[in-house]
Chains A and B, each alone.
Chain A
Amino acid sequence: ETGVTQTPRHLVMGMTNKKSLKCEQHLGHNAMYWYKQSAKKPLELMFVYNFKEQTENNSVPSRFSPECPNSSHLFLHLHTLQPEDSALYLCASSQEAGGNSPLHFGNGTRLTVT
């Protein structure tokens, strides 16, 4: 496999459920990101990890909990979500967490909170 792989592609969960999104990159990159894409809104950066260390938390509610066990894997743990959290969640990676390193995106997880 190559590129950035996200699972699952689709997820429906109730507000009291706990679920996790998984992201894996096979590009040898050192930085990984979570973005939220909602309809009619710009992409929102949620978290940045550089060499497994979290370097950015963009005021994300605590019901979203990221985990980065190594430079190739990134998780987003979800609990007690709200309907407004329904969105496409995109994982991305880059060679380094620097301004000119282009991001490589996965195909996203379409999350619906009921």
Chain B
Amino acid sequence: AQSVTQLGSHVSVSEGALVLLRCNYSSSVPPYLFWYVQYPNQGLQLLLKYTTGATLVKGINGFEAEFKKSETSFHLTKPSAHMSDAAEYFCAVSGNAGGTSYGKLTFGQGTILTVHP
């Protein structure tokens, strides 16, 4: 069984400020972790993913996330927000069970990021 909790359905930052979007997960097997972004009237786009190896992963558009097993967290950060970062962000987890999870991604409820000038 697996689940994802995104803390805060809405986050608002000023342009140039740090972006921090929180994600905690639970999984009965080692997890694969993902962050997706959804712009208005579009589908979801992969930002970054963690599978194995280095726990700090870098993605597109200057975002990065760190897998912390002890905290069961995978928070998304960006040092300096840009107006174009305004979107909805989804954290997702699937199970590392020898590739037999059949893409059963479990998504969080999403966090809407607003960037103020």
Q: State the A residues within 8 Å of B (CB).
A: 4, 6, 31, 33, 40-43, 45, 48, 50, 55-56, 90, 92, 94, 96-108
User: From A9, which residue of chain B is reached at the shortest CB distance?
Assistant: B41
Least distance between B62 CB and chain A CB atoms (Å): 19
Are A31 and B43 also in contact (CB < 8 A) when A99-B32, A99-B95 are?
no
Known pairs A6-B43, A56-B102, A103-B46 / 6 extra A-B pairs, C-beta < 8 Å? A50-B102, A56-B104, A97-B102, A98-B103, A99-B94, A99-B99
Q: Mark B94-112, 1 if CB is under 8 A from A, else 0.
A: 1111011111111111100
- A33–B99 CA distance with the chains assembled, in angstroms: 17
Which of A45, A100, A106 interacts with B43 by CB under 8 Å? A106
Which of B41, B96, B103, B109 interacts with A48 by CB under 8 Å? B103
- A21–B88 CA distance with the chains assembled, in angstroms: 24
B45 and A45 form a contact (CB under 8 A) = no
Least distance between A46 CB and chain B CB atoms (Å): 12
Are A108 and B100 also in contact (CB < 8 A) when A42-B107, A99-B32, A103-B105 are?
no
Residues of A within 8 A of B90 (CB): 43
Least distance between B33 CB and chain A CB atoms (Å): 10
A98 and B109 form a contact (CB under 8 A) = no
User: From B44, which residue of chain A is reached at the shortest CB distance?
Assistant: A105
Give the residues from 46 to 85 in chain B that come closer than 8 angstroms, CB to CB, to chain A: 46, 49, 51
What are 7 contact pairs spanning A and B, CB under 8 A? A92-B44, A96-B99, A98-B102, A99-B97, A104-B46, A105-B43, A108-B43
Residues of B within 8 A of A100 (CB): 32, 49, 51, 94, 96, 99
- A31–B46 CA distance with the chains assembled, in angstroms: 17
